[in-house]
Amino acid sequence: MAVRKHKKSYHEIETDEEMEEELGTAAQDPDIYDRLARSIAPEISLLDDEEDENRDSRDDMSKVYSLILDYMQGHRLARLEYIRAEAMVVQKGWKTEQLREMLDFYVEADVFRVSADRTMIELFNTD
């Protein structure tokens, strides 16, 4: 299955029988989230594209946290689409599970909020 890119909101996309069948098949693929995240990764402009030789040895959770936080703050975003965050994480070589673990930890710390349907990440306002 090839991922078709649409420059539309989800509610604007019209599906046909063939697409419905492909979606049903894709839903059974255990790697579908990673594949989708990689499919949109080229559209993402990251603040930290180059490796910094002086980077400290933070654990992966801290690195994932910094990637998402820096991106949101650098682009002055209060909210970020979850799938975009997944794509950023996968592009940097981490797994989507590491994003979920980081978010679970930082939601408990009142740094982020995640929508119930896990489509949006919101930076907790500390003002």
Q: Is residue 47 part of a domain?
A: no
Which range, 10-14, 18-22, 34-38, 83-87, has the best average confidence (pLDDT)? 83-87
Q: Is residue 98 part of a domain?
A: yes
Q: Single out the residue of 6, 3, 22 nearest to residue 14, CA to CA.
A: 6
- Compute, in degrees rounded to 10, the torsion defined by CA atoms 4, 68, 76, 56: -140
Does residue 29 carry a pLDDT above 90?
no
Q: Is residue 87 part of a domain?
A: yes
Are 112 and 123 in contact, with CB atoms under 8 Å apart? yes
Give the pairing of strands 112-114 and 79-81: unpaired
Q: Is residue 71 part of a domain?
A: no
Q: Is residue 60 part of a domain?
A: no
| Tally of domains within the chain | 1
Are 89 and 67 in contact, with CB atoms under 8 Å apart? yes
Structural domain harbouring 111 = 79-127
Q: Is residue 91 part of a domain?
A: yes
Q: Is residue 63 part of a domain?
A: no
Answer yes or no: pTM beyond 0.85: no
